[in-house]
Amino acid sequence: MFQGDLGWMTRGSMVGPFQDAAFALQPSTTQKPVYTNPPIRTKHGYHVIMIEGKKM
């Protein structure tokens, strides 16, 4: 299992299902997380995504 901060990501830099889920989420914190449920499945495996911030 891998975990970690992916840094700032842009549209087009992620695989489709991951990107769609990531851009649909609202930012949250580790104290009150909002994450993908169920996990997102891509060709790389399953992912639980939490967004900490967005640049406009």
Residue 1's pLDDT band (boundaries 50, 70, 90)? low
Total number of domains constituting the chain: 1
Residue range(s) defining the domain that contains residue 32: 1-55
- Please compute the mean of the pLDDT values over residues 30-51 and round it to a whole number: 95
Q: Are 38 and 17 in contact (CB under 8 A)?
A: no
Question: Above pLDDT 70, what percent of the chain?
Answer: 96
Here the CATH number for the domain that contains residue 23 is 3.10.50.40
Q: Which two tokens stand for residue 35?
A: 């994450």
The CA-atom distances, in angstroms, between 14 and each of 5, 11, 29, 37, 53 are: 14, 7, 22, 19, 17
